[in-house]
Amino acid sequence: MSARQPKYEAAHKMLNIPHSATWFRASILTLIAPLIFSISPVIAREILLSSEPIQQYQAKNVGEKIGELIWRGGLVITGPELFGGVSGLTFLDNNQWIMVSDRGQFIFGTSIYDQSQISNLSNVRMAAVKNSKGRPLPPNYSRDAEAIDTIYRDGEIAAIRVGFENLTRVADFDLLDFAPTGPAREVVIPTWISALRTNSSLESVCIAPKDAPISGSTLLLTESSIIDNKHRGWLLGKEDAGEISLKVLSGFNPTDCAFLPDGDLLILERGTGFFIFTMQIRRIKAADIFRGAVLEGNIILNGSGSDIDNMEALAVRQHADGTTRLVIVSDDNFNSWERTLWLEFELVE
């Protein structure tokens, strides 16, 4: 019996084709068996994470104001060897989230809160990011996922959108019970972006909400493609497609972006000092975001030293009490001297 025969026998049973129809059976199964077996469910492994609470930020206690924000606590997260390298984060509801890592993994689970403060992460699973043929990405530069956001259609969650660097591209993935699934579906992006084959190319991907002037458009921001002191970017959209850019602030580069419900844009930026990381978040008004715009905005949060780490992921969530939260997560680069931090702030309106 050949190695391929068990596959066709299984397909034969699934389709209930009589053995007597030999020619018909062979022809049909030859055509459709690869399709049947290319459709696979999510293969995810549950992982156990440990969380140590962070009570202070810039010497402020949980519940105290820091500029335009209220500090709502954080976590130092540790896990198995495969866990780490978190570069992007999105929320599917108040506490269901998906992260992407720069080693081609989806990490997804539930955030647990003790009233207003983050206390733990539970039901955490990992699954390989897949290519367009439904196979896990190979262990090379092609798996460097850097950004993720949630796609809504008619007010309902439809899919997730992921940005990659090195082999620079954007792809969509389906969801099944809050878990990413299925093969990648390529999103067409400008050739000048896909030609940026470095690990500092496409760092930020975020989708404008329904109340934004550019509703439904996807913002792509690059880290190292700089012209005339501006980070180059692009808007993907039916009405708004075209160039957009972000004014460079000395010492900082964008690592992620997220829209607020009203259409204002938040941009997370990272810098380095003398053996330390620095960080800031800019807020840009919705009316200032359009094709051809040079984004600038105001700084609403900064950090440095032991308060932070290599902050790469930014997401917005609605808390159970109706407040808007900002969540920032760091990329430990799988190094023992870096940490995976979850920092959470409430937006004061």
Domain residue limits, the chain: 1-39, 46-347
pLDDT at 139 exceeding the cut of 60: yes
What are 190-229's pLDDT values in tens digits? 999 999 998 889 999 999 999 999 999 999 999 999 999 9
Show Cβ contacts of residue 228 under 8 Å, excluding neighbours closer than 6 positions. none
Distance of CA 93 to the CA centre of its chain: 15
Q: Count CB neighbours of 102 within 10 A.
A: 22
* Whether the Cβ atoms of residue 151 and residue 161 lie closer than 8 Å to each other: yes
Task: Work out the end-to-end distance of the chain between its first and last CA atoms, rounded to an integer number of angstroms.
Answer: 70
Which contiguous run of DSSP H or E holds residue 21?
Answer: none
Using CA atoms, how far apart are residues 269 and 98, in angstroms rounded to an integer?
Answer: 21
Instruction: Tokens for 44, please give them.
Output: 């995810």
Please tell me whether the overall predicted TM-score, pTM, comes out greater than 0.95 for this model.
no
Q: Is 25 helix (H, G, I), strand (E, B) or coil?
A: helix
74 bridge partner residues: 54, 343
What are 272-316's pLDDT values in tens digits? 888 899 999 999 999 999 999 999 999 999 999 999 999 999 999
Rg from Cα positions in the chain? 22
Q: Count CB neighbours of 55 within 10 A.
A: 11
Instruction: Tokens for 197, please give them.
Output: 């084959």
DSSP assignment, residue 197? -
DSSP assignment, residue 306? G
* Whether the Cβ atoms of residue 330 and residue 339 lie closer than 8 Å to each other: yes
Q: In the chain, pLDDT over 70 holds for what percent of residues?
A: 88
Q: Would you list the DSSP string of 210-222?
A: TTSTTTTPEEEEE
Range 46-347: architecture per CATH: 6 Propeller (2.120)
pLDDT at 41: 52
Q: Would you list the DSSP string of 83-117?
A: ---EEEEEESSSSEEEEEETTSEEEEEEEEEETTE
